[in-house]
């Protein structure tokens, strides 16, 4: 008799647990959400988060407040997110450096794989392999041949150490067997200025920062870093299409929370991000930045991050990238 009663109680208990989970999801959030961008205002990661935040606020019923905490190749801001109460009310916005940092920084302030949980991939930002017109390379193949003739003679710019364009150039160099000299600047703007002036010869630039210079002939676009051509630059081949099959090295950004956050909170945050990404005004603005709105599931974003850790560990080991 007792056994039958216990067996009947199992589905009742399971149903009660499901109701509690649903109730928790409906109750979250109970206060404003803090979105920590680990970079200074104005970069692509910051711009995307600020586009999405007002719409997330509407969907969640609580204000999403963007907080910039730059420094340490994004580790300062993400450390704050990792050490926040694991209740989902603080999110950290990661980008490509998140995948590379564990292989570059010996003493990380947090464990990238264990201390932060994925919420959603937000957007993918295509880069353009750009050169100064004085460089005698009209396409990707000619650039590779030129670099192989004089290893280290060509200078390439970046927005700083472990920035998206730094990592993309090293990934490209690793895939093609070339050697160029890195010249880091304090931001994407100064890096583009250096290329336009001829101070440097090569840069994996973002589309918004370089497209006008392609139109005026002050810069030459050789190839885009995505597997397919960009809508913004339909006449520019992808590097994968042109010469390096499978090559892909994009900027990206996505949301994370401190590990241990309730699944109900993670799901609510993911839904708010995914819905925001589908809003026409958000999609149009993000596409205008040369980016692709994503908004996929925590599991899909988690699988992507895991691949990033493996890819960058291999490249950093082979090429010998160091934080200077």
pLDDT tens per residue, the chain (324 residues)?
Answer: 433 443 344 444 444 444 444 454 568 999 999 999 998 887 788 889 999 999 999 999 999 999 999 988 899 999 999 999 999 999 999 999 999 999 999 899 999 999 999 999 999 989 999 999 999 999 999 999 999 999 999 999 998 888 899 999 999 999 999 999 999 998 888 999 999 999 999 999 988 889 899 999 999 999 999 999 988 899 999 999 999 999 999 889 999 999 999 999 999 999 999 999 999 999 998 888 778 899 999 999 999 999 999 999 988 888 777 765
* pLDDT reported for residue 235: 94
Quick one: 138 and 233 in the same domain? yes
Number of domains composing the chain: 2
Quick one: 55 and 80 in the same domain? yes
From 191, 216, 242, the end of a domain falls on 242
Establish whether the linkage from the previous residue to 14 is cis, with ω within 30° of 0: no
Q: Is residue 5 part of a domain?
A: no
From 183, 213, 242, the end of a domain falls on 242
* pLDDT reported for residue 304: 95
Q: The CATH number of the domain where 107 resides is what?
A: 3.40.190.150
Q: Is residue 178 part of a domain?
A: yes
Query: What tokens appear for 139 in the block?
Result: 């396409």
Quick one: 109 and 180 in the same domain? no
Within 10 A of 235 (CB to CB), how many other CB atoms are there? 8
Considering Cα of 199, then 201, then 205, then 208, what sign does the dihedral take? positive
Within 10 A of 68 (CB to CB), how many other CB atoms are there? 18
Quick one: 34 and 95 in the same domain? yes
Quick one: 163 and 310 in the same domain? no
* pLDDT reported for residue 33: 98
* pLDDT reported for residue 10: 45
* pLDDT reported for residue 292: 87
Q: What is the pTM of this model?
A: 0.81
Quick one: 41 and 116 in the same domain? yes
Q: Is residue 23 part of a domain?
A: no
* pLDDT reported for residue 206: 87
Quick one: 133 and 219 in the same domain? yes
DSSP state letter for 262: -
SS3 for the chain, per residue?
Answer: CHHHHHHHHHHHHHHHHHHHHHHHHHHCCCCCEEEEECCCCCCHHHHHHHHHHHHHHHHHCCCEEEEECCCHHHHHHHHHHHCCCCCCCEEEEEEHHHHHHHHHCCCCCCCCCCCEEEEEEEEEECEEEEECCCCCCCCHHHHHHHHHHCCCCCEEEECCCCCHHHHHHHHHHHHHCCCCEEEECCCHHHHHHHHHHCCCCEEEEEHHHHHHHHHHCCCEEEEECCCCCCCCCCCCCEHHHHCCCCCCCCEEEEEEEECCCCHHHHHHHHHHHHHHHHCHHHHHHHHHCCEEECCCCHHHHHHHHHHHHHHHHHHHHHHCCCCC
From 181, 207, 242, the end of a domain falls on 242
Q: Is residue 114 part of a domain?
A: yes
Domain residues for the domain of 198 are: 127-242
């Amino acid at each position: 008799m007792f056994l039958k009663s216990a067996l009947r109680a199992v589905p009742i208990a399971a149903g009660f647990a499901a109701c509690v989970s649903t109730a928790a999801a409906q109750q979250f959030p109970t206060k404003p959400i803090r979105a920590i961008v680990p970079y200074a205002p104005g970069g692509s990661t910051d711009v995307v988060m600020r586009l999405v935040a007002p719409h997330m606020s509407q969907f969640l019923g609580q204000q999403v407040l963007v907080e910039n905490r730059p420094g340490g190749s994004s580790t300062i801001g993400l450390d704050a997110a990792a050490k926040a109460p694991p209740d989902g009310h603080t999110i950290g916005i990661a980008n490509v450096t998140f995948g590379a940092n564990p292989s570059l920084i010996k003493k990380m302030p947090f464990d990238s794989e264990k201390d932060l949980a994925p919420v959603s991939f937000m957007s993918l930002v295509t880069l353009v392999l750009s050169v100064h017109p004085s460089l005698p390379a009209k396409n990707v193949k000619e650039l590779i041949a030129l670099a192989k003739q004089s290893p280290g003679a060509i200078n390439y710019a970046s927005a700083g150490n472990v920035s998206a364009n730094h990592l993309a150039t090293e990934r490209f160099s690793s895939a093609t067997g070339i050697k160029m000299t890195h010249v880091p600047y304090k931001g994407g703007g100064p890096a583009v200025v250096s290329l336009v002036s001829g101070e440097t010869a090569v840069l994996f630039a973002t589309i918004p920062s370089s497209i006008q210079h392609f139109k005026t002939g002050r810069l030459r676009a050789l190839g885009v870093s995505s597997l397919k051509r960009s809508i913004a630059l339909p006449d520019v081949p992808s590097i994968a299409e042109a010469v390096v099959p499978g090559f892909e090295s994009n900027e990206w950004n996505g949301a994370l929370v401190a590990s241990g956050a309730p699944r109900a909170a993670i799901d609510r945050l993911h839904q708010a991000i995914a819905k925001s990404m589908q809003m026409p005004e958000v999609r149009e603005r993000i596409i205008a930045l040369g980016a692709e709105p994503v908004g996929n599931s925590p599991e899909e974003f988690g699988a992507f991050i895991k691949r990033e850790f493996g890819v960058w560990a291999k490249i950093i080991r082979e090429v010998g990238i160091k934080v200077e």
